[in-house]
């Protein structure tokens, strides 16, 4: 570890612990988030990242977000995307539109689709099974779909266990699960911002059950709304514990809350520095996660490029389509070439990957 220069002594002690390959505890993480000099944080995070990925590749996936319905009974305060079942403007995607979107993704060299949607009370589990079979029968694409709150919703709607839901979805073609709907994994926060969504325990249980069934998943964190900094640290430790038991998370993706058009309009937008600090602390705490994704969709291209020196090693997805963050007032767009260019200009090698972080043939090979 290079010498830490601008941080107080207690941070230097934690830096020495990290340099010795020791795990940091909750208090250490809080101290880092609150007191470490930002460049010292970057240095610690970058050295962990470099040790895990000495090849200096920065990966990305070519995929498309597809929202199958925006009708939702949950009414999360931070959501600008959903409509309630009785309201106008609700949709359920047609087979034709779904097929068209997937074909476009395949034509653009895409390898996966990320499908998520609202908690629509009119769609039984057989709807999702049919949808998955339709995709598998017609398109060569990895299906990354249904975040834990959706899985819990299906299980409650059908009156069957989470494990039974997962087994049925996998039998129909589901390949992996996105880590959405985690927001902040602290119930005191969840009950304020998303009172009808699954609890922390349920979210973690879906992931642990999925991992035990051999389904890989990601994990996310949406921060900068009603949580305290300590809540964010609790979130990281909850994930670290599950990962210790299962090893099933492929990546962690922290992103900042976008307040426009939501019911938390007075939330202050997180600054770039706050984002970078949180990203670096995530890399340091989550020593059992291989991949940390930067969030160009919410932070924009330049900060995401900088984030590659704050622990990030993955640029996420080309996001051929993204509706949820766009509905909250943010619409950065980046093509695959632009992503590759940002990575190269930062001194790394861009590599297209699949969901499980296997490298694909480079576009220019
Ligand atoms: S975040 Fe998801 S669960 Fe919550 S209201 Fe929006 S669509 Fe529904």
pLDDT of residue 142: 96
Pairwise CA distance, residues 217 & 104, whole Å? 25
Decide if 32 is inside a domain: no
**183 Cα: distance to centroid of ligand 1 (angstroms):** 11
Q: How far is the CA of 82 from the centre of ligand 1 (A)?
A: 6
Instruction: Examine residue 306 and state whether it is found in any structural domain, yes or no.
Output: yes
Indicate the range of 151-155, 157-161, 257-261 predicted with least confidence.
257-261
The DSSP code for 326 is H
Span of 186-195, 318-327, 356-365 with lowest mean pLDDT: 318-327
Instruction: Determine if ligand 1 sits within 6 Å of the CB of residue 72.
Output: yes
Pocket flag, ligand 1, residue 119 (CB < 6 Å): yes
pLDDT at 333: 76
Percent residues over pLDDT 90 in the chain: 85
Q: Is the CB of 62 under 6 A from ligand 1?
A: no
Ligand 1 atom nearest the C-alpha of 81 is: 6
Task: Please check whether residue 3 lies inside any domain of the structure.
Answer: no
Report which ligand 1 atom has the smallest distance to the Cα of 117: 7
DSSP per-residue letters across 279-319: HHHHHHH-TT-SEEB--HHHHHHHHHHHHTTTT--EEEE--
Contacts 24+ apart (CB under 8 A), 271-276: 272/299, 272/303, 272/306, 273/38, 274/224, 275/299, 275/303, 275/307, 276/38, 276/41, 276/42, 276/303, 276/306, 276/307, 276/310
Residue 190 CA to ligand 1 center (angstroms) comes to: 13
Q: How far is the CA of 132 from the centre of ligand 1 (A)?
A: 21
CA dist 254 and 292 (Å) reads 8
Report the C-alpha gap between 215 and 360 in whole angstroms.
21
Task: Write down the pLDDT at residue 262.
Answer: 81
Which pLDDT does position 328 carry in this prediction? 61
Which stretch of DSSP H or E encloses residue 220?
strand 216-223
Taking the centre of ligand 1 as the mean of its atom positions, its distance from the CA of residue 119, in whole angstroms, is 7
146 within ligand 1 shell (Cβ under 6 A): no
127 pLDDT more than 70: yes
pLDDT tens digits, one per residue of 191-247: 999 999 999 999 999 999 999 999 999 999 999 999 999 999 999 999 999 999 999
Q: Does residue 24 belong to any structural domain of this protein? A: no
Task: Determine, yes or no, domain membership for 7.
Answer: no
- Indicate whether residue 152 lines ligand 1 (CB < 6 A): no
Q: Is a pLDDT exceeding 90 seen at residue 323?
A: no
Residue nearest to atom 1 of ligand 1 (CA): 79
Determine which residue's CA is closest to atom 7 belonging to ligand 1: 118
Residue 6 lies in a domain: no
Phi, psi of 192 (to 5 degrees): -85, -40
> Does 261 have pLDDT greater than 90?
no
**Residue 14 included in any domain:** no
205 C-alpha to ligand 1 centroid (Å): 19
Q: Are 203 and 185 in contact (CB under 8 A)?
A: yes
Report which protein residue has its CA nearest ligand 1's atom 2.
118
Compute, in angstroms, the gap from residue 289 CA to the centroid of ligand 1: 27
Nearest atom within ligand 1 for CA of residue 79:
6
Burial of 293 (0-12, 13-18, 19+ CB in 10 A): buried
Asked whether residue 334 carries a pLDDT value surpassing 90, the answer given is no
Q: Is 75 in the pocket of ligand 1 (CB under 6 A)?
A: yes
Looking at every residue in the chain, the average pLDDT score rounds to: 93
- Lowest mean pLDDT: which of 123-132, 144-153, 325-334, 344-353? 325-334
Instruction: Identify the domain containing residue 279 by its residue range.
Output: 55-352
CATH assignment at residue 76: 3.20.20.70
Helical spans, DSSP H, in the chain: 9-19, 26-35, 38-52, 95-107, 125-138, 148-158, 162-172, 187-193, 200-212, 229-246, 272-285, 296-307, 324-327, 336-345
Q: What's the 285 CA to ligand 1 centre distance in angstroms?
A: 28
The pLDDT of 149-172, averaged and rounded, is 98
Indicate whether residue 153 lines ligand 1 (CB < 6 A). Answer: no
> What global pTM score does this model have?
0.94
Give the side-chain half-sphere CA count within 13 A for 94.
3
Split at pLDDT 50, 70, 90, the class of 365 is: very low
Q: How confident is the model at residue 254 (pLDDT cuts 50, 70, 90)?
A: very high
- Examine the pLDDT at 273 and tell me if it is beyond 80: yes
Please give the DSSP secondary-structure letter assigned to residue 140.
Answer: -
Q: Which structure tokens are listed for 122?
A: 């009119």
**Per-residue 3-state assignment (H helix, E strand, C coil) for 6-69:** CCCHHHHHHHHHHHCCCCCCHHHHHHHHHHCCHHHHHHHHHHHHHHHCCCCEEEEECEEEEECE
Number of neighbouring beta carbons within 10 Å of residue 311: 28
Q: Answer whether 135 contacts ligand 1 (Cβ < 6 A).
A: no
CB within 8 Å of 227: residues ≥ 6 apart: 184, 186, 189
The structural domain count of the chain equals: 1
In a domain, 184, yes or no: yes
Q: How far is the CA of 337 from the centre of ligand 1 (A)?
A: 32
Mutational test site, ligand 1, from 66, 74, 150, max ligand atoms within 8 Å of CB: 74
Mutate to test the pocket of ligand 1, among 119, 157, 261, 325 (most ligand atoms within 8 A of CB): 119
């Amino acid at each position: 570890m290079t010498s830490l220069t601008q941080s107080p002594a207690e941070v230097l002690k934690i830096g020495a612990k990290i340099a010795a390959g020791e795990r940091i505890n909750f208090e250490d993480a809080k101290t880092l988030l609150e007191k470490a000099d930002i460049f010292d944080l970057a240095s610690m995070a970058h050295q962990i990242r470099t040790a895990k990925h000495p090849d200096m590749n920065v990966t990305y996936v070519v995929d498309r977000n597809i929202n199958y319905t925006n009708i939702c009974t949950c009414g999360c305060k931070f959501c600008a995307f959903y409509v309630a079942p009785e309201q106008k403007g609700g949709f359920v995607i047609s087979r034709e539109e779904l097929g068209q979107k997937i074909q476009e993704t395949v034509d653009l060299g895409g390898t996966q689709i990320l499908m998520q949607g609202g908690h629509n009370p009119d769609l039984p589990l057989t709807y999702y099974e049919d949808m998955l079979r339709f995709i598998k029968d017609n398109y060569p694409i990895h299906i990354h779909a249904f975040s834990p709150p959706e899985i819990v919703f299906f299980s409650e709607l059908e009156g069957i266990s989470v494990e039974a839901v997962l087994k049925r979805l996998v039998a129909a073609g589901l390949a992996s699960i996105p880590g959405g709907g985690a927001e902040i994994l602290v119930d005191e926060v969840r009950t304020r911002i998303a009172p009808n969504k699954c609890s922390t325990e349920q979210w973690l249980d879906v992931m642990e059950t999925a991992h035990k069934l051999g389904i890989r998943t990601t994990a996310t964190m949406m921060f900068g709304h009603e949580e305290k900094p300590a809540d964010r640290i609790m979130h990281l430790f909850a994930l670290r514990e599950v990962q210790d038991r299962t090893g099933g998370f492929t990546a962690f993706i922290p992103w900042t809350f976008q307040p426009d058009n939501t019911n938390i309009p007075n939330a202050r937008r997180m600054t770039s520095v706050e984002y970078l600090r949180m990203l670096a602390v995530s890399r340091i705490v989550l020593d059992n996660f291989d991949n940390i994704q930067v969030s160009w969709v919410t932070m924009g291209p330049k900060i995401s490029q900088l984030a590659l020196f704050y622990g990030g090693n993955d640029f996420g997805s080309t996001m051929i389509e993204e509706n949820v963050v766009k509905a909250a007032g943010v619409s950065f767009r980046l093509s695959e070439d632009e992503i590759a260019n940002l990575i190269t200009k930062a001194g790394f090698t861009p590599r297209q990957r699949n969901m499980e972080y296997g490298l694909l043939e480079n576009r220019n090979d």
